[in-house]
Amino acid sequence: MSAHHTHSAHGDDHAHGHHGHEDHGSHGSLKDYTLGFILSVILTAIPFWLVMAKVIPDSKTMGIVLLVFAAIQIVVHMIYFLHMNFKSEGGWSMLALIFTTLLVVIMLAGSLWVMHHMNHNMMPGMNHETKPESINLAPAKDGQNSRNLP
């Protein structure tokens, strides 16, 4: 070995026991985990009750309410179980999450917009209602059905 590789294979100069946790946000306590668990149970039980008891009859409104509960539960999991906040890793993990969320929202909204307007954008001159204007099914004067085709 050269002169700069004189340390032992498991020397203390690399701080192998720390695993890089010195600048991260603190891990949750039992109180934090319990609060996160209780919030998760509540945020699961309320939507379950809303669906099973058919409290909201309109399906679109029910879908929006369920999506709101799901979004709140995602935030609860990120805070209480994944320990994501603006303090951990100098705020970079939260910044990466915000950027990823923004990209996903842009891609989903753009995809939905394109799919919603696809028929209109691809065939702007076509009328999508089927009206057989060229076929006249008026009865003939002599009592027989006849078709007046152009």
Query: Which pLDDT tens digit goes with each residue over 1-27?
Result: 555 555 545 544 554 454 554 444 567
Instruction: Determine the Cα–Cα distance for residues 110 and 76; give it in Å rounded to an integer.
Output: 28
pLDDT tens per residue across span 128-143: 555 555 555 655 566 5
Instruction: Determine the Cα–Cα distance for residues 69 and 65; give it in Å rounded to an integer.
Output: 6
User: Which pair of structure tokens corresponds to residue 99?
Assistant: 């950027």
pLDDT value for 40: 96
pLDDT tens per residue across span 32-84: 999 999 999 999 999 999 999 999 999 999 999 999 999 999 989 988 998 88
pLDDT tens per residue across span 87-143: 878 888 888 889 999 999 999 999 988 888 886 767 666 665 555 555 556 555 665
**Residue of 105, 87, 71 whose CA lies nearest to 23:** 87
Instruction: Determine the Cα–Cα distance for residues 5 and 14; give it in Å rounded to an integer.
Output: 13
pLDDT value for 23: 47
- SS in 3 state form for the chain? CCHHHCCCCCCHHHCCCCCCCCCCCCCCCHHHHHHHHHHHHHHHHHHHHHHHCCCCCCHHHHHHHHHHHHHHHHHHHHHHCCCCCCCHHHHHHHHHHHHHHHHHHHHHHHHHHHHHCHHHHHCCCCCCCCCCCCCCCCECCCCCECCCCC
